[in-house]
Amino acid sequence: MLRHTWTLFLCLMMVAGAAVTYQIKYRAELATEEARDMVSEINGLEEDISRLKAQWSLLNQPSRLQALVENNAEVLPLTPLAPHQIALLDNIPERSPMSLIVPRRKPFSYAYESNTLAKLINQTSEPSLSDLIGSEAR
Amino acid sequence: MALSDTFDAAKAKVSLLTSVRRHVSFKGTAVDQKDDSRLRLLMAVGLFAVIYAVIGLRLAGIAMFGELDAGNPYGSSGVSAARPDLLDRNGEVLATDVKTFSMFAEPRRVLDADEVVDGLATIFPDLDSDAIRTRMASDRGFMWLKREITQEQQRAIHRMGLAGVGFLNENRRFYPGHETASHILGHVNIDNEGIAGIEKHIDGQGLADLQEAGLQMERNLEPMRLSTDLRVQHVVRDELTKAMERYRAIAAMGIVLDVHTGEVIAMSSQPDYDPNIPAQALEKERMNRATAGVFEMGSIFKTFTTAMALDSGKVAIHDNFDARRPIRVSRYTINDFHGKHRVLSVPEVYIYSSNIGTAKMALEVGIDGHKEFLSRLGLMDRLRTELPESADPQHPSKWSQISAMTISFGHGISVSPMQTAVAAAALVNGGKLIPPTFFPRSEAEADQLARRVVSQETSDKMRYLMRLNVLKGSGRRAEVQGYRLGGKTGTAEKVVDGKYSSSVRFNSFLAAFPMDDPKYLVLVVIDEPKPEKEGIGATAGRNAAPTLAAIVKRAAPMLGVMPRMESDAALGIPQYNVPSPAR
């Protein structure tokens, strides 16, 4: 009787052992699969990053930016920085209450000529917006 | 597969375990069994041991070497080697690897050719479907469908799951700046090996060995930072190309050097090439003239002669030189281009660029002293930088008095523009000759390598003379308000058919700024410029000087040089009041 119980116990142990082994194997396979996916995802993302960096660098090339500025000077008049435009905070004198601020150059005086503005206004389809700019220009 | 082995082995182990138990119990009940049952038992034990050993070894093997083969989900990796990214000093990408995919088909494995063709047509509408269908019908093992497709296209096709269609990927070197820094970066060949410029240099530094040994990683190659500033590099190139056009020159060169560290901030040689199209580099006129070309630099050499004369102690800044009459030595005559025909002081000799006065200064020092000084400045030997492109300077094997005199104003000796710039930097930075580099370097590191070539006092005097030349001399068109530029023009005559021609010129401008504390040295060379308009000259003051001024005006704010509007004396630019012997 005792021997039978013992055999039964061993059989159960065997089945249990097989089940556990199978579980471990299954989980390991799952984990392998997951790791494989992750590695490939990381590879893909890293490639994406490097590709986007190259693309960014291509778009951010000084030569390209310069061409863009030159070709769109009518809309956005950007010119290189001139030496007299650079100053330290210390160079700016204290504002005295008696002083009168006279701008050296009228803002927009050189590019936003009235005809350029008119052209811009004509391009916009929204009448309310053009009315608004128009009233300000007047 | 490893784990299923383990599993099978484990099962076997369990069943054996039970059978052995049975044997053991048999043995316990029937003690007087025959000997062969004992043998059977021994055999079982032996079998056991073998199985355990196999399991143990397998486990050890897995633990030690690992079996987790992630593989490449996008097809096998190509042959092209991976290279480190090259960045400029601010971290902008100058060169990088991009992965390109090439799509192929294995006709034998294609199940449905129509499905493949239709699927591809959705991504590549311009693909010749009929041609592919015919080729697919053949019994070939392999055919290219399309080379160099983008990753998006590759993924889209991958998702369709077309049988018999595969991808090969390879790294291709990409230079987003195209021509901008071509002569610094160099380029790579079809196998992604560097064959010029810094690309070749980094291969020489062990990358090639690493790749050969198969140790190189696909990723994780540390990017390499260069000393170049992409923005300044662009400015130099942009202004040089404009100058080439405006003066219809055949070539132009520009160098910007940090005088305290020897770092090359920018270097351009026009015409240049697009490193993405390496075949262009083979055209001879696109060579890197800045380091691999040698030229008679002309009057900018007077800067070296004057520094030599002042540093030797044989000439003082208050000395006068008689430039009334040309010097005649045997059949040669040395005359002045802008002759004043009077006695000149040292500063006047410099700012009027007097050949006669400079030649006399060189004679004061003597031939041996002259040779020694030029070799001290590194102008007699080949200058080695990280770039593989370099050239030997050319100078007479035997220096006669006449060669010493012509060399004093830059004829009869040919050096590379980079060499000239490096030597000149030593004259304005306080007298330290610092070997140039294309990689970042700190001032402390530079001081370790530096060699004193002239005294601080000589350097101060040179700063004064160079600044004076921009204020009052031939360099007036190089003045940029606020940046305290100082420099020397050079208008050299080129040798045409064995004779110096007065109409074919090699113009240069050598300058440093800001002169109160020089930080950067700029050299601009324009080869064979034509007059901008009929009737005006094509001297360096009219083309090289304004080109250099345009570069400084744009680049100085990028380099962080603060414009100052105070007078030179107030800024601390050395002043030597040398009376003119004219009156």
**Of residues B379 and A76, more confidently modeled:** B379
> What is the domain extent for residue B56?
2-65
Domain total in chain B: 3
SS3 A74: coil
> Are A61 and B18 a contacting pair at CB < 8 A?
no
Rounded to the nearest angstrom, the minimum Cα separation between A118 and chain B is 33
Annotation says B299 is catalytic? yes
At B345 the pLDDT is 92
Q: How far apart are the C-alpha atoms of A115 and A99, rounded to whole Å?
A: 35
Same domain, B460 and B314: yes
Average pLDDT of A110-128? Answer: 48
The answer to the question of residue B580 being in a domain is no
At B207 the pLDDT is 66
**Cα dihedral sign for A29, A30, A33, A38?**
negative
Same domain, B255 and B172: no
Under an 8 Å CB criterion, which residues of A touch B? 3, 10-11, 14, 17-18, 21-22, 24-25, 28-29, 32, 35-36, 39-40, 43-44, 46-48, 50-51, 53-54, 56-58, 60-63, 66, 80-84, 86, 88
The answer to the question of residue B81 being in a domain is no
Distances (CA, A) of A57 to B85, B177, B184, B199, B549: 12, 8, 18, 19, 28
> Are B70 and A80 a contacting pair at CB < 8 A?
no
CATH assignment at residue B150: 3.90.1310.10
Phi (first) and psi of residue B504, to 5 degrees: -105, 115
Same domain, B459 and B360: yes
At B21 the pLDDT is 53
At B262 the pLDDT is 93
In the predicted model, is pLDDT for residue A9 greater than 90?
yes
Same domain, B252 and B218: no
Q: How far apart are the C-alpha atoms of B522 and B496, rounded to whole Å?
A: 28
Q: Which of A25, A61, A80 sits opposite B7 (nearest CB)?
A: A25
For chain A, domain boundaries: 2-62, 110-138
The answer to the question of residue B422 being in a domain is yes
What are B275-281's contacts with CB under 8 Å, separation 24+? B275/B95, B275/B173, B275/B175, B275/B178, B275/B179, B275/B182, B275/B185, B275/B186, B275/B187, B275/B197, B276/B173, B276/B174, B276/B175, B276/B178, B276/B187, B278/B187, B278/B188, B278/B189, B278/B195, B281/B182, B281/B187, B281/B196
Contact (CB, 8 A) for A60 and B92: yes
At A104 the pLDDT is 59
In the predicted model, is pLDDT for residue A137 greater than 80?
no
Structure ipTM: 0.70
Provide, as residue numbers in chain A, all residues whose Cβ is less than 8 Å from the Cβ of B481: 83-84
Q: What are the pLDDT tens digits along chain B (583 aa)? A: 455 565 666 566 556 555 555 555 544 455 556 678 889 999 999 999 999 999 999 888 887 776 545 444 433 444 455 788 899 999 899 998 887 788 888 888 888 888 888 888 888 888 788 888 888 877 777 888 887 787 778 888 888 888 888 888 777 888 999 899 999 999 998 778 888 999 999 888 776 666 655 554 544 578 899 999 999 999 999 999 999 999 999 999 999 999 999 999 999 999 999 998 888 888 888 999 999 999 999 899 999 999 999 999 999 999 999 988 888 887 888 888 777 788 999 999 999 989 999 999 999 999 999 999 999 999 999 999 999 888 999 988 888 888 899 999 999 899 999 999 999 999 999 999 999 999 999 999 999 999 999 999 999 999 999 999 999 888 888 888 889 999 999 988 888 877 888 788 899 999 999 999 999 999 999 999 988 777 777 788 889 999 999 999 999 999 999 888 888 888 888 888 888 887 5
How many CB atoms are closer than 10 A to CB B547?
Answer: 30
Distances (CA, A) of B267 to A4, B197, B264, B351, B380: 92, 12, 7, 27, 22
Q: Which of B65, B94, B118 is the last residue of a domain?
A: B65
Q: How far apart are the C-alpha atoms of B213 and B38, rounded to whole Å?
A: 57
Instruction: Pick the residue from chain B with its C-alpha nearest to A25.
Output: B3
At B357 the pLDDT is 92
> Are A80 and B554 a contacting pair at CB < 8 A?
yes
B398-436 residue pLDDT tens: 888 888 999 999 998 999 999 999 999 999 999 999 999
Q: How far apart are the C-alpha atoms of B548 and B275, rounded to whole Å?
A: 26
- Closest by alpha carbon to B75, among B109, B111, B102? B102
Average pLDDT of A105-128? Answer: 49
Provide, as residue numbers in chain B, all residues whose Cβ is less than 8 Å from the Cβ of A53: 93, 96
**Whose structure tokens read 């360096």?**
B540
Q: How far apart are the C-alpha atoms of B508 and A68, rounded to whole Å?
A: 31
The answer to the question of residue B29 being in a domain is yes
Q: Which of B80, B227, B268, B299 is catalytic?
A: B299
